[in-house]
């Protein structure tokens, strides 16, 4: 069985980078310097991922939450009040969406932002690079929006396509951070036509929740989820690494769970992005992931 | 004579003076830090007195850096692997429970002894509640979240028994006030049974103490109101101003932050008081006296004055000492104006 290991979303920062950001927030470091520090740290991590043979998205060290840079890039969106992120002790700024026009700032080049470290969104680009973007459905549910979901989804996915074009990439990871309700539909057709999409889901998924054909649906470890993932995507995916606990997983147990899927090819990933863990533990978890399937 | 109505109180923390905050970590566990914390406690209490506060808490928590870390640092069985992000570039130390937990040293006894040595009696000791300690820790050791919360409750109970013993030496027969800080209370709606059981375990067997619970930034206080009569507490000190408007008026539309007091009143067994957050600790804007009056008067349409206390939403350490002072002062002026009508 071929096991592809995928790390996505915001990754915990090093202490050095935290201190640099703290100085930047106090106005003691210019935007250009903090940008260089962020790029330096990202490149170190890219190198580590490559050595561990891990598929990755950008570690998003310059994203203060998974919506913020998108909100700041798009006309008529603003970052609203600090709001609890799911059932955690971590907070995000709730997006307030009046309308979705175009992006007004080039996302691929250095550019200072208010209330968030500077762009670019990601450091790498090109066809082999995986972009990371939040699912329109969770985005909608976690925001205050003045429009119907279907309109929001269509307009936001257009924005996403522009971003992907700017980074010249063919593939991306979409993160559905909230569980689906039975009757909810995420329609990714306009993306999956052109891009290879890995969709990370949360909780139980139901038939018809997902439209379009993602390359992979990476889901929580439940029988029904795996069956849906196998039926609608080319490569099934499963989240077996806990992003909410410092306890280390057993490689034997992971290998056993992967075997149960009964597929020649599978994607292994983590529940929740790893920014909820101390850096040292996140590093150990990705090292452990790299040894799975050996 | 002090009125029994609209008693005003601090919630807990107040901004530390620079001479203390700048050396706090470097001087940890030294006599020098104790001296500086004592000095700033006295200064902060003087400031509170000038604002007219009835209850001075513990003088702004000058002996503590952070509510979770302070207790977790005193417990064997908790390992710190590194900081975890709270928001933006703000971090807190989140411990991992890696073994059986035991209290290595008292959480707040030194602070209480200091206050008693200086003859303060109008105090309220904030302690971090067992559910929040559990929710903010990684658990690698205990069976589940229920068992973990109950273990934290056992340790907190031991600590509060010691606090009460110390208090009784100085003020025998007088009630001690302890506030259980539980910001995580309603974050997992299906775990309210854990909240109830762990809080009750914490206060078990401790008599002649007025226990309150402080919760803030909840998405749904009704979850708490639904179970509050099952918790052995005397009152709730909650954040409201943050979810309110800055417009004046005492209609439902002008005071959306306080609307759910109606549900509290409906559910209340008639004895629990409400510590009403009337000033927002996350904005520098100093709410005018009139706005605070409107907030109190709106609450008075729902609750009798003896069941209302007044406080900031949460600890004021998020604001400068000057702004913290101005907010507390306006709270007192508003209170005095309303008291004239009540009496």
Look up the pTM and report it.
0.91
Give the distance, in angstroms, between the CA of residue A128 and the centroid of all CA atoms in the same chain. 16
CA B89, chain centre distance (Å): 25
Q: Please choose, from the candidates B250, B216, B213, the residue with its C-alpha nearest in 3D space to the C-alpha of residue B233.
A: B213
CA distance B4 to chain A (A): 36
Ranges A89-98, A247-256, A265-274: which has the least confidence: A89-98
Which alpha helices (DSSP H) does A100-250 contain, by range? 136-141, 149-166, 189-192, 223-232
What pLDDT shows up at residue B342? 86
- The pLDDT of residue B343: 67
Contact of B33 with B27, CB cutoff 8 Å: yes
Min distance B90 CA to chain A CA atoms (Å): 9
Residue A106 CA to residue B224 CA, distance in Å, equals 46
Give me the sign of the Cα torsion angle A110, A113, A117, A119: negative
DSSP B142-209: SSSHHHHHHHHHHHHHHHHHHHHHHHHHHSTTSPEEEEEE-TTTTSSGGGHHHHHHHHHHHHTT--SE
Residue B94: list chain A partners with CB under 8 A. 89, 278
Q: Which of B138, B219, B282 sits opposite A245 (nearest CB)?
A: B138
Residues in B touching A65 (Cβ below 8 Å):
87
Tell me if B289 sits within 8 A of B297, measured CB to CB.
Answer: no
Distance CA A7, CA A129 (A): 13
C-alpha closest to that of B14 among B54, B70, B56, B76: B56
pLDDT at A83: 86
What are the backbone dihedrals phi and psi of residue A269, each rounded to the nearest 5 degrees, phi first? -145, -165
Nearest to B81 among A15, A275, A280 (CB): A280
Could you give all domains of chain B from N- to C-terminal order, each with its CATH number? 7-342 (3.20.20.210)
Residue ranges with strand state E in A52-175 = 55-56, 77-84, 91-97, 111-113, 116-119, 130-134, 144-145, 171-175
Smallest Cα–Cα separation from B180: which of B228, B226, B147, B137? Answer: B228
Alpha-carbon distance of A150 to B253, in angstroms, equals 31
| B283-304 confidence digits (pLDDT tens) | 999 999 999 999 999 999 999 9
pLDDT at residue A239 is higher than 90: yes
CB contacts < 8 A, A to B, total 66
Cα Rg of chain A, angstroms? 18
Please tell me the distance in Å from A225's CA to the nearest CA on chain B: 23
The yes-or-no verdict on residue A87 having pLDDT over 90 is: no
Mutate to test the interface with B, among A10, A12, A28, A87 (most CBs of B within 10 A): A87
Q: Please give the residue of chain B at the shortest CA–CA distance from A244.
A: B138
Give the per-residue pLDDT at B236: 98
Confidence of residue B1 (pLDDT cuts 50, 70, 90): low
C-beta atoms of B83 and A278 within 8 A: yes
Q: Would you list the DSSP string of B31-69?
A: HHHHHHHHHHHHHHHHHHHHHT-SB-TTSS-TT-S-HHH
CA distance A116 to A99: 21
Whether the CB-CB separation of B53 and B328 falls below 8 Å is answered with: yes
Q: What angle do CA B273, B277, B278 make, to 5 degrees?
A: 120
Q: Hey, what's the torsion of the CAs at B266, B267, B271, B274, to 10 degrees? A: -80
Q: Report the chain B residue with the minimal C-alpha distance to residue A18.
A: B89
In 3D space, the residue among A115, A179, A103, A173 whose CA is nearest the CA of residue A141 turns out to be A179
Q: How many CB atoms lie within 10 A of CB A32?
A: 10
Give the domains, in start order, of chain A with CATH numbers: 2-291 (3.20.20.210)
pLDDT in tens, B51-92: 999 999 999 999 999 999 999 999 999 999 999 999 999 999
Identify the pLDDT of residue B267: 97
What is the SS3 assignment for A82? strand
Contact A91 B96 (CB under 8 A): no
Least Cα separation, residue B257 to chain A (angstroms):
15
Q: Would strands A91-97 and A77-84 be described as parallel, antiparallel, or unpaired?
A: antiparallel
Q: Does the CB of B91 have a partner CB in chain A at under 8 Å? A: yes
Is the per-residue pLDDT at B239 higher than 90? yes
ipTM: 0.93
- Residue A46: in which H helix or E strand, if any? helix A31-51
Residue in chain B nearest A117 by alpha carbon = B88
Picking from B92, B90, B72, the residue whose alpha carbon sits closest to that of residue B82 is B92
């Amino acid at each position: 069985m071929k096991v592809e290991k995928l790390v996505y979303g915001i990754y915990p920062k090093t202490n050095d980078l935290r201190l640099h950001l703290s100085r930047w927030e106090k106005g003691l470091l210019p935007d250009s310097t903090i940008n260089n520090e962020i790029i330096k740290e990202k490149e170190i991590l890219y190198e580590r991922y490559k050595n561990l043979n891990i598929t990755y998205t950008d570690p998003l060290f310059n994203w203060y939450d998974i919506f913020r840079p998108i909100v700041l890039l798009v006309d008529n969106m603003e970052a609203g009040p600090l709001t609890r992120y799911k059932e955690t002790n971590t907070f995000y700024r709730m997006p307030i969406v009046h309308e979705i026009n175009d992006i007004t700032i080039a996302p691929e080049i250095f550019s200072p932002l208010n209330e968030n470290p500077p762009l670019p969104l990601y450091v790498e680009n090109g066809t082999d690079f995986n972009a990371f973007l939040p699912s329109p459905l969770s985005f909608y549910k976690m925001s205050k929006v003045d429009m119907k979901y279907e309109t929001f989804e269509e307009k936001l996915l257009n924005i996403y396509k522009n971003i992907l074009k700017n980074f010249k990439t063919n593939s991306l990871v979409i993160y559905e951070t909230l569980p689906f309700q039975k009757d909810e539909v995420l329609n990714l057709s306009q993306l999956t036509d052109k891009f290879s999409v890995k969709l990370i889901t949360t909780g139980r998924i139901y038939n018809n929740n997902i439209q379009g054909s993602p390359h992979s649906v990476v889901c929580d470890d439940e029988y029904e989820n795996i069956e849906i993932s196998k039926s609608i995507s080319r490569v099934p995916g499963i989240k077996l690494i806990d992003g909410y606990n410092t306890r280390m997983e057993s490689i034997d147990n992971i290998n056993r769970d992967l075997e149960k899927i009964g597929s020649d090819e599978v994607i292994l990933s983590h529940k929740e992005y790893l920014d909820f863990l101390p850096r040292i533990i996140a590093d150990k978890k990705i090292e452990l992931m790299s040894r799975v399937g050996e | 004579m002090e009125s029994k109505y609209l008693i005003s109180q601090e919630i807990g923390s107040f901004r530390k003076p620079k001479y203390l905050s700048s050396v706090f970590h470097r001087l940890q566990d030294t006599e020098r830090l104790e001296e500086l914390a004592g000095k700033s406690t006295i200064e902060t209490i003087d400031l509170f007195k000038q604002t007219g506060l009835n209850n001075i808490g513990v003088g702004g928590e000058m002996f503590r850096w952070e509510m979770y870390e302070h207790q977790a640092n005193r417990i064997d069985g908790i390992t710190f692997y590194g900081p975890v992000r709270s928001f933006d570039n703000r971090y807190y130390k989140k411990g991992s429970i890696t073994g059986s937990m035991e209290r290595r040293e008292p959480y707040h006894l030194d602070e209480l002894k200091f206050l008693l040595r200086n003859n303060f009696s109008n105090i309220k000791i904030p302690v971090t509640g067992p559910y929040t300690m559990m929710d903010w820790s990684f658990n690698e050791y205990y069976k589940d979240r229920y068992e973990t919360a109950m273990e934290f409750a056992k340790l907190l109970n031991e600590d509060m028994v010691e606090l009460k013993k110390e208090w009784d030496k100085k003020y025998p027969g007088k009630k001690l006030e302890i506030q259980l800080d539980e910001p995580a209370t309603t974050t997992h709606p299906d775990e309210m049974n854990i909240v109830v059981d762990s809080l009750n375990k914490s206060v078990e067997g401790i008599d002649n103490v007025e226990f309150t619970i402080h919760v803030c930034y909840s998405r749904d206080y009704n979850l708490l109101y639904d179970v509050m009569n099952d918790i052995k507490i005397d009152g709730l000190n909650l954040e409201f101003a943050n979810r309110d408007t800055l417009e004046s008026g005492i209609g439902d539309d002008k005071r959306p932050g306080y609307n759910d007091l109606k549900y509290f009143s409906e559910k209340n067994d008639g004895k629990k008081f409400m510590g009403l957050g009337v000033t927002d600790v996350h904005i520098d804007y100093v709410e005018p006296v009139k706005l605070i009056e409107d907030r109190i008067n709106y609450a008075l349409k729902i609750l009798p004055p003896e069941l209302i206390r007044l406080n900031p939403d949460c600890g004021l350490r998020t604001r400068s000492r000057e702004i913290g002072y101005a907010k507390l002062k306006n709270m007192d002026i508003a209170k005095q104006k309303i008291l004239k009508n009540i009496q």
